[in-house]
């Protein structure tokens, strides 16, 4: 056999090996699946939070991903239905590639799915939690302060900053939230050794005139309204003629451009509690977030801030991992994370083991002036 003939099998083997290596190098790494169960349709639903979270994940992917793996963001609509919320969570839980949930916004899914997330060892970081279970679960840690802490901060603002003693709370009787609002008012009264505010609950859709008369008869010095944006606007417009000079302090969902436009002619003394660095301000802390929102044509709001921050907190944790990224390893990393600070939040955020989370408990009061939201108080109100 000639020397050339003897070398032919070796050359063929080397070529085959090189082709195999090349083929292996071209196989993309499996994605890191992050999920969200969020209310995208139904009364008061919004996709702002998950849109903002998606833009964070897209930015990470454009920069090379995490450990060379892209993030696949799977958002499932719970349609504001407990049955659909359970189905959505089941779909994400049963996909072993799902390492965590982040950025969702729902009024009911925490209560429906909290036990199932814990059993599956799957952590959920909502951008905006609503029902009480969001704030008392081992495997759920929202980025927003939520309606109950926000009610307390609104009471503290009216009492300590506006210097009013006779406070009235008006709250829609939202499913699963009534007792939590009652507890929030009761706990605030005990902590502050203050006169107990009155609390009037009502069913959405019922005539407001009798309720307005009842609250006006209490001679309130300030009214705290705990409902979402649409009902809050209805309350202000209905109650203003009977209580024209009584300040109304509303919660974060009212801090929107739409609410500002709708309430522009309602007079002075309208406030809303911002749970993050105010999106309507010129703060340098929000410039990166604002640029991304403008590029994606997403409406600035507290909802989009929450989704953005939830995604950032998860990405921060993933980028700090030095090993396989799985559901179990991500759960471990979240439970042992150091407090994470964002310039858009007053205090650092931390997920803890056994539900010992360090959650958002601050708000900054905003005041409506000439149809624009402006900062009403320079210091965060903390609870």
- 69: domain CATH number? 3.40.50.2300
On whether both 151 and 136 belong to a single domain, the answer is no
Residue 341 lies in a domain: yes
Which pLDDT belongs to residue 25? 57
On whether both 207 and 79 belong to a single domain, the answer is no
CA separation for the pair 272, 338 (Å, rounded): 31
Residue 358 lies in a domain: no
On whether both 288 and 265 belong to a single domain, the answer is no
CA distances, 216 to each of 169, 211, 212, 295 (Å)? 12, 8, 6, 46
DSSP-derived letter for residue 265 is T
On whether both 244 and 295 belong to a single domain, the answer is no
CA separation for the pair 172, 188 (Å, rounded): 19
pLDDT exceeds cutoff 80 at 2: no
Which pLDDT belongs to residue 296? 81
pLDDT exceeds cutoff 90 at 30: yes
Residue 85 lies in a domain: yes
pLDDT exceeds cutoff 60 at 1: no
The domain tally of the chain equals 2
pLDDT exceeds cutoff 50 at 7: no
Instruction: Give residue-wise pLDDT tens across range 278-315.
Output: 988 877 778 888 888 888 888 888 999 999 999 999 99
pLDDT exceeds cutoff 90 at 174: no
Q: How confident is the model at residue 17 (pLDDT cuts 50, 70, 90)?
A: low
Q: How confident is the model at residue 325 (pLDDT cuts 50, 70, 90)?
A: very high
Axis crossing angle, helix 82-93 with helix 109-120, rounded to the nearest 10: 20
CA distances, 130 to each of 15, 70, 238 (Å)? 60, 30, 25
On whether both 206 and 341 belong to a single domain, the answer is no
Residue 157 lies in a domain: yes
Q: How does strand 128-129 pair with strand 105-106?
A: parallel
On whether both 113 and 152 belong to a single domain, the answer is no
Instruction: Give residue-wise pLDDT tens across range 338-373.
Output: 999 998 999 999 999 999 999 999 999 999 999 999
Q: Kindly state the average pLDDT of the residues 123-137.
A: 95
Q: Kindly state the average pLDDT of the residues 63-73.
A: 97
Beta-bridge mates of residue 98: 33
Q: Kindly state the average pLDDT of the residues 2-10.
A: 50
Residue 103 lies in a domain: yes
Which pLDDT belongs to residue 12? 52
What's the mean per-residue pLDDT of the chain?
A: 91
On whether both 292 and 378 belong to a single domain, the answer is no
The answer to which of 16-25, 69-78, 241-250 has the lowest mean pLDDT is 16-25
Q: Kindly state the average pLDDT of the residues 148-164.
A: 97
On whether both 104 and 252 belong to a single domain, the answer is no
Residue 18 lies in a domain: no
Q: Kindly state the average pLDDT of the residues 136-147.
A: 96
On whether both 162 and 293 belong to a single domain, the answer is no
Q: Kindly state the average pLDDT of the residues 162-183.
A: 94
On whether both 297 and 235 belong to a single domain, the answer is no
Domain span holding position 163 = 147-274+364-382
Residue 289 lies in a domain: yes
Residue 78 lies in a domain: yes
On whether both 157 and 295 belong to a single domain, the answer is no
On whether both 237 and 120 belong to a single domain, the answer is no
């Amino acid at each position: 056999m000639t020397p050339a003939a003897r070398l032919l099998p070796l050359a063929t083997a080397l070529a085959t090996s090189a082709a195999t290596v090349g083929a292996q190098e071209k196989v993309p790494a499996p994605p890191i699946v992050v999920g969200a169960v969020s209310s995208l349709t139904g009364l008061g639903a919004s996709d702002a939070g998950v849109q903002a979270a998606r833009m964070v994940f897209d930015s990470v992917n454009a920069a090379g991903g995490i450990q060379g793996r892209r993030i696949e963001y799977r958002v499932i609509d719970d349609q504001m239905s407990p049955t659909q919320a359970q189905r959505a969570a089941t779909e994400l839980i049963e996909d072993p590639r799902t390492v965590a949930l982040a950025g969702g916004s729902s009024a009911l899914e925490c209560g429906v799915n909290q036990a199932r997330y814990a059993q599956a060892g799957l952590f959920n970081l909502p951008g905006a939690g609503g029902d009480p279970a969001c704030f008392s679960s081992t495997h759920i840690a929202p980025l927003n302060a939520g309606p109950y802490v926000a009610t307390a901060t609104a009471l503290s603002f009216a009492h300590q900053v506006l210097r009013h003693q006779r406070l009235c709370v008006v709250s829609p009787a939202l499913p699963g939230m009534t007792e939590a609002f009652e507890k929030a008012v009761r706990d605030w009264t005990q902590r502050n050794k203050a006169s107990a505010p009155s609390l009037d609950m009502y069913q959405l859709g019922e005539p407001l005139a009798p309720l307005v008369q009842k609250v006006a008869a209490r001679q309130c010095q300030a009214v705290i309204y705990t409902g979402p944006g649409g009902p809050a606007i209805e309350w202000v417009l209905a109650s203003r003629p009977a209580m024209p000079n009584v300040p109304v302090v509303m919660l974060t969902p009212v801090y929107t451009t739409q609410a500002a436009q709708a309430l522009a002619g309602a007079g002075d003394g309208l406030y809303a509690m911002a749970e993050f660095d105010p999106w309507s301000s010129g703060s340098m802390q929000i410039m990166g977030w604002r640029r991304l929102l403008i590029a994606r044509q997403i409406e600035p709001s507290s909802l989009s801030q929450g989704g953005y921050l939830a995604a950032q907190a998860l990405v921060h944790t993933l980028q700090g991992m030095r090993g396989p990224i799985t559901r179990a390893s991500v759960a471990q990393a979240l439970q042992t994370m150091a407090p994470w600070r964002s310039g858009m939040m007053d205090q650092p955020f931390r997920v803890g083991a056994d539900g010992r989370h360090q959650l958002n408990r601050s708000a900054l009061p905003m005041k409506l002036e000439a149809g624009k939201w402006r900062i009403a108080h320079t210091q965060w109100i903390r609870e």
